[in-house]
Each structure stands twice: as structure tokens, then as C-alpha cells.
């Protein structure tokens, strides 16, 4: 693997990557097993967009994740699985065992009519079988679409339809802390009106479920008829590897599409260099596989480096707030990658929970998903890293496929709450709203990337125009991230947050329009406006302003009903934290809601609201403020 070992290496690599980006990436790509080498490193047009890396190259990513390692690492653990219940036994799956399990399940998929190019929906909890199912898809060239277990039946149904999945893989139920999630039941509801060929069900808990004859099959029964040998399908570098749905500023979530070759090269390279993984290290990423962090840094990135990954089924604070520290001590975790929201909730539990445990094995700690505030940064660095583990604050997105801006552990000097410098191969720029390039130090602007990188999204599933509009049309010749950032004298980036109507709740991206659409489904709701507001643990909370057709007789009952509608349509992750009933919303003369004002009020600011003279009816603002004060 291409390994940056020192600060000098970093500077040289960065310079080289800007001067000769194609040669830079070709050199990295040679570290993999290609059935056929590419004929051209890059073919790119940002206007359409049309982006191709390693043109005409042929490979299979699973051959690179597993088969390639069997010669030296067959007996090394690939996955250590820690179950939800601390009293249950953990599982260790070696590379040899993973190879067998993936091959066997790949044959199960084939036996159920899944072939190259078909989309398969995976709706599963954090079990090794989710990783196995993803790799089995990739082995036979099927496209996986993992849907996070926190989404409702309706949200799942929309995603299954959008990607045209004919097969769904799930479990009887899933365990998260003290709760049991009826996965199969949710799938049944999601597909009740859809034409689905098969549902393959892994038995995780033994919860009784309905099995529809002819359609539903048990994983363990199907496996009895499957061989443990399965040739990996030869894929083109630009063949689709997976779809992953993410929220944008408009109502419907979009299916971000990643392709095989570029995604492989980028996730492997970034994993190695950001975390400085060494053979034998135990690496733990707390993200759910249902999000991009789980795809890139729990599965593909680590396995491509023959790493040992710890996978945890449960919750950081269950059954007690010492669970993470117990796990780190028990499995001698060396690298711990988590999210600010988890850090803040662990911090809130107090340091006493950490003290009894030895965290001596830790060498690197990391954060991802949202801006990490100063206090959480310091706490994580001091109490978990004991001031001798670099904290890598990694900025990236579902659309970027992998880490873009981050310190390299033990190499890049740290600056609290700064994601720091771009990785070699990544060229960020800051623009003003008119698209003017902001040069120099201490500037703040819109974060864009000006040169393609191998793991960038290629399209949004079934709607290429939307991809163009969303990411490539705002500024010509640039990929627009949707984030604002500032850059200091040393070129360090600090990510400020979204500049669009996306809120980041506990690291989960949620579109305000999605939540509004759901709230508006309640029969008494006329209109709503949703904004984010600062939340001590979640980073941002969801604040909903709601107009009802008659003022609710029982406000708390109506609030509960509205919350239930949101849970039904999107899922528990989109529950509003606060619902304020209002009689009007601040709108401009053209009818646009002025969210800036609503955000301020939600933050508790009721005096300095800025210019409200362009509002159609400035008096609504006064009413909203009064009502807000009454609620607090």
C-alpha cells in the first residue's frame, strides 16, 4: 500500500498529487489486484458530469478484500463481533472463514436469481452477516443498497422501489440496547404491495416471524444447498458497486452511486494513511454499516488492508455507560473511530466510567459525522486518548466515498476542532456565493473540490440530472459539498456545517423538507417549517413550527400524534425534538419561508433577528417569539 510515513512524505505527496494527479492515483492503484489493467487513468467532464477512473480496468473488489490476503493472512481475524449483550460470547471470523461465508452466501444469492447488475436491498442490524451479504453481492457483481435499521417501513419501501430491488436480505429481529427491532415485520410491511422475488432471513434472535411460502427463505436453510466456492465476477472499474440513500435539501432522499475501481483505491488509501494502520492492530469503528462510514471504514477500507475490524452490535451506553471502555480493554483496541454525538453522550456520563479500564492499547482516536466542538475534542483527547493518541477529525461525505480532509495520525500537527489538511489527491477550495475563489488565510466560504478524486459519486440512482443540479451546477467546474468552512493561516480547514436545508442530527443527515412533508401528513396540519438548532448531545436537534387548521385542544396529544407520523413515514431518527404551534410563518413576498429567522428563534434569539422588513407580514415574527418564550 502507498504509505505516507512522515510530514515530509505528506508534503511531497501532496505537491505531487496536485502537479500530476493522474500519475499519483495510478501509482496507488498498482497496489491492487486487477484482472486487467486500465488503459487510461481518468476521463472526466464535470459539466455532465461524466467521471471515469481507471478506464477499462477489470477487477473484483472482494478478490482484493479477501482472496488476495489468503496467502499470508488466512488465519488472521477479519471481523471480531461483540454482541449487544455483554454476557453473550463474541465471535471471531478469520479471513479464511470470511472467504468461505461470503462465497457460500454469494451462491445463495445466485440460487435466488441474483446476477451481475441486480440490486439487492439489505435491511439488517449490526451482525457479521450484513458484512457477509454486502461482500457476497460485490463478489457476484450485484449492487447492494443497505438501508439503515432506524428507517421505517415506508422509508424502506421507497428505497427498495427507487433502486428496483427484487431481493431483500434481513433478520428476524435486531437488538439495540434494551430494545428489539422487528426487522422482518418491517420488511413485510414495506414490501406488502411490491413485486419482490425473495426475502432471505438470517435468524439472529429466534423471534417468531411469518415466512411467506415461495418468497421467504431462511439464510441457514438456503446455505445447506450452497457450495463454499464461488468465482468472483469480473467487473469493470466503472461498474456500480453500491447505492446508498442520503438526504438532500429537497424532499426525496437520493441514491448516491459508487463504482468499483475508484472506490476501492480511495477507501484503501485513506484508511491506511489517516489511521496509520499497522498489521495486527485491532480497529474499531462505531458507525452503523447502514451509513457511508460503515461501508468505507468498517468494511471495504479495512478489509482491503487486511485489517482486523471490531464490529459492535449494541449501543455505547448500554447496559452501562462503560460499555465502550470495556470493549476497548477486552479486545485491546488500537484504533477507535467514533462520532461527536457519541463522544458528547459519553462525556455527559462522567469520567468515573472510564477510570476502571485500561485504555493503554489505544494509539489513534478519530471522529466523523459532524463538527466536533472544542469541549468534546478536549475531553476525547484527554480522557480517552490520555493526551498521547492523535485525534483525527475526518471530514467527508456519502458523496465523497472516503475521507477528504483530516490529519494523518502521528504525522499532521493537530489543531482542536479543525479537520486540518486535505489528503494528498484532494483539492479543496473556498468560494464566495458568487463563485469567486477565496485565496489567502483566514477566509470563510463555501467548500468545493476542484479536481476529481477516485471515489466521488458518479450519479444519483435513476436521476442523473439531479446529481448534476445538486453537486455540479452551483459552480462551474467544481464539486459543491453543501458545507461552509474556514481556512486559517496554515491552510487548516475548519468545517462549519451545512449551508443548505440539511440538518445533522447525531451525525445523521436529515432534510428539513423530508420532515416537513411527513409532518404535513397529519390531518390537522396545514403547513410546517423545520429547522435545526444547537443540541448539547446530538449536535443539532429538530425544531418544527407547525400551523394547524384549528388550534389543538390538547397540544401534547397533537405533538405526540405528529411525532408518530414522522416515525411512521421516516423513522425514529427524524423525531422532532421540539414542536411549536404557530398561526403563521415568516414568508417573503414571493412566498419563501425565511428559515434564517426561524433558526434564530429556535436558538433562543428573539431580539436580534436581522432584517425582517422584506417579510410579507412582519408581525408573525413577534407572535412566534412570544409563543417560543412561553414554551421554554
Residues in contact with ligand 7RM by CB under 6 A are 246, 291-293, 368-371, 393-398, 419, 481-483, 495, 497-498, 504, 507, 509
Tell me if 576 sits within 8 A of 562, measured CB to CB: yes
Tell me if 74 sits within 8 A of 95, measured CB to CB: yes
- Nearer to ligand 7RM among residue 136 and residue 405 (C-beta): 405
Residue 541 CB, shortest distance to ligand 7RM, in Å, is 16
Residue 256 CB, shortest distance to ligand 7RM, in Å, is 8
Residue 114 CB, shortest distance to ligand 7RM, in Å, is 27
Which element (helix H / strand E) includes 109?
A: helix 95-111
Task: Scan for cell 429556535, then name that residue.
Answer: 602
- Nearer to ligand 7RM among residue 270 and residue 528 (C-beta): 270
Sequence-distant (6+) residues with CB within 8 A of 546 are 519, 525, 527, 528, 562, 579, 580, 581, 582
- Nearer to ligand 7RM among residue 77 and residue 511 (C-beta): 511
Which element (helix H / strand E) includes 26?
A: helix 21-29
Distance CA 270, CA 409 (A): 11
- Nearer to ligand 7RM among residue 397 and residue 580 (C-beta): 397
Residue 322 CB, shortest distance to ligand 7RM, in Å, is 26
The helix/strand/coil state of 465 is helix
- Nearer to ligand 7RM among residue 2 and residue 471 (C-beta): 471
Distance CA 352, CA 356 (A): 8
- Nearer to ligand 7RM among residue 361 and residue 469 (C-beta): 469
b/e code 15-42 from CB counts within 10 Å (16+ = b): eebeeebeebbbebbebbebeeebeebb
Residue 553 CB, shortest distance to ligand 7RM, in Å, is 40
Distance CA 630, CA 482 (A): 35
- Nearer to ligand 7RM among residue 77 and residue 428 (C-beta): 428
- Nearer to ligand 7RM among residue 28 and residue 510 (C-beta): 510
- Nearer to ligand 7RM among residue 325 and residue 381 (C-beta): 381
214 secondary structure, DSSP code: T
How do 167-171 and 198-202 pair as beta strands? parallel
Q: Residue 281, Cβ neighbours under 10 Å: how many?
A: 19
Helix axes 260-275, 21-29, angle to 10 degrees: 90
Distance CA 568, CA 155 (A): 8
Phi, psi at residue 294, to the nearest 5°? -65, -40
Residue 495 CB, shortest distance to ligand 7RM, in Å, is 4
Residue 90 CB, shortest distance to ligand 7RM, in Å, is 27
Distance CA 28, CA 35 (A): 16
Residue 229 CB, shortest distance to ligand 7RM, in Å, is 36
Residue 492 CB, shortest distance to ligand 7RM, in Å, is 13
Amino acid at each position: 500500500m502507498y504509505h505516507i510515513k512522515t510530514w515530509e512524505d505528506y508534503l511531497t505527496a501532496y505537491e505531487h498529487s496536485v502537479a500530476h494527479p493522474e500519475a499519483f492515483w495510478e501509482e496507488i492503484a498498482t497496489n491492487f489486484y486487477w484482472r486487467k489493467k486500465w488503459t487510461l487513468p481518468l476521463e472526466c467532464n464535470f459539466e455532465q458530469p461524466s467521471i471515469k477512473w481507471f478506464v477499462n480496468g477489470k477487477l473484483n473488489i472482494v478478490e482484493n478484500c479477501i482472496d488476495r490476503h489468503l496467502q499470508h493472512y488466512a488465519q488472521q481475524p477479519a471481523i471480531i463481533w461483540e454482541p449487544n449483550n455483554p454476557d453473550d460470547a463474541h465471535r471471531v471470523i478469520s479471513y479464511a472463514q470470511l472467504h468461505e461465508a461470503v462465497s457460500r452466501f454469494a451462491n445463495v444469492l445466485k440460487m435466488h436469481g441474483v446476477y451481475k447488475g441486480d440490486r439487492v436491498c439489505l435491511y439488517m442490524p449490526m451482525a457479521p452477516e450484513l458484512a457477509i451479504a454486502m461482500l457476497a453481492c460485490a463478489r457476484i457483481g450485484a449492487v447492494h443498497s443497505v438501508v439503515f435499521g432506524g428507517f421505517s417501513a415506508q422509508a424502506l419501501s421507497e428505497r427498495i422501489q427507487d433502486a428496483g430491488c427484487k431481493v431483500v436480505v434481513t433478520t428476524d429481529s435486531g437488538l439495540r440496547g434494551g430494545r428489539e427491532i422487528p426487522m422482518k415485520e418491517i420488511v413485510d410491511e414495506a414490501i406488502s404491495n411490491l413485486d419482490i422475488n425473495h426475502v432471505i432471513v438470517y435468524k439472529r434472535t429466534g423471534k417468531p416471524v411469518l415466512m411467506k411460502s415461495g418468497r421467504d427463505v431462511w439464510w441457514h436453510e438456503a446455505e445447506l444447498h450452497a457450495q463454499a466456492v464461488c468465482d468472483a465476477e469480473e467487473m469493470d472499474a466503472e461498474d456500480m458497486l453500491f447505492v446508498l440513500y442520503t438526504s438532500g435539501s429537497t424532499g426525496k432522499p437520493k441514491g448516491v452511486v459508487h463504482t468499483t475501481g475508484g472506490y476501492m483505491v480511495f477507501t484503501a488509501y485513506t484508511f491506511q494513511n489517516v489511521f496509520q494502520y499497522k498489521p495486527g492492530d485491532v480497529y474499531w469503528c462505531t458507525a452503523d454499516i447502514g451509513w457511508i462510514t460503515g461501508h468505507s471504514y468498517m468494511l471495504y477500507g479495512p478489509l482491503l488492508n487486511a485489517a482486523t475490524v471490531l464490529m459492535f452490535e449494541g449501543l455505547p451506553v448500554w447496559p452501562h455507560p462503560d460499555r465502550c471502555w470495556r470493549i476497548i480493554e477486552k479486545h485491546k483496541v488500537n484504533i477507535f473511530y467514533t462520532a461527536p454525538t457519541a463522544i458528547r453522550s459519553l462525556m455527559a456520563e462522567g469520567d468515573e466510567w472510564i477510570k476502571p479500564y485500561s485504555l493503554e492499547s489505544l494509539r489513534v482516536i478519530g471522529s466523523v459525522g459532524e463538527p466536533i466542538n472544542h469541549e468534546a475534542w478536549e475531553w476525547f483527547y484527554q480522557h480517552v486518548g490520555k493526551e498521547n493518541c492523535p485525534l483525527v477529525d475526518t471530514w467527508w461525505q456519502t458523496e465523497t466515498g472516503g475521507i477528504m480532509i483530516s490529519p494523518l495520525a502521528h504525522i499532521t500537527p493537530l489543531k482542536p476542532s479543525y479537520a486540518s489538511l486535505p489528503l494528498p489527491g484532494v483539492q479543496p477550495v473556498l468560494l464566495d456565493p458568487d463563485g469567486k475563489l477565496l485565496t489567502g488565510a483566514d477566509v470563510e466560504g463555501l467548500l468545493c473540490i476542484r479536481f476529481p478524486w477516485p471515489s466521488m459519486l458518479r450519479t444519483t440512482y435513476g436521476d442523473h440530472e439531479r446529481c448534476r443540479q445538486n453537486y455540479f451546477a452551483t459552480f462551474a467546474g467544481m464539486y459543491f459539498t453543501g458545507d461552509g468552512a474556514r481556512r486559517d493561516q496554515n491552510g487548516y480547514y475548519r468545517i462549519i456545517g451545512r449551508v443548505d436545508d440539511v440538518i445533522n442530527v447525531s451525525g445523521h443527515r436529515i432534510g428539513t423538507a423530508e420532515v416537513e412533508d411527513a409532518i404535513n401528513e397529519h390531518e390537522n396540519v396545514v403547513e410546517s417549517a423545520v429547522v435545526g438548532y444547537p443540541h448539547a448531545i446530538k449536535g443539532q436537534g429538530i425544531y418544527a413550527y407547525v400551523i394547524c387548521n384549528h388550534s389543538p385542544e390538547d397540544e401534547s396529544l397533537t405533538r405526540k400524534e405528529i411525532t408518530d407520523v414522522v416515525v411512521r413515514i421516516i423513522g425514529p431518527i427524524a423525531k422532532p425534538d421540539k414542536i411549536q404551534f404557530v398561526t403563521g410563518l415568516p414568508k417573503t413576498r414571493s412566498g419563501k419561508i425565511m428559515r434564517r429567522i426561524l433558526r434564530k428563534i429556535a436558538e433562543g434569539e428573539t431580539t436580534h433577528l436581522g432584517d425582517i422588513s422584506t417579510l410579507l407580514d412582519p408581525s408573525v415574527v413577534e407572535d412566534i417569539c412570544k409563543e417560543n418564550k412561553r414554551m421554554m
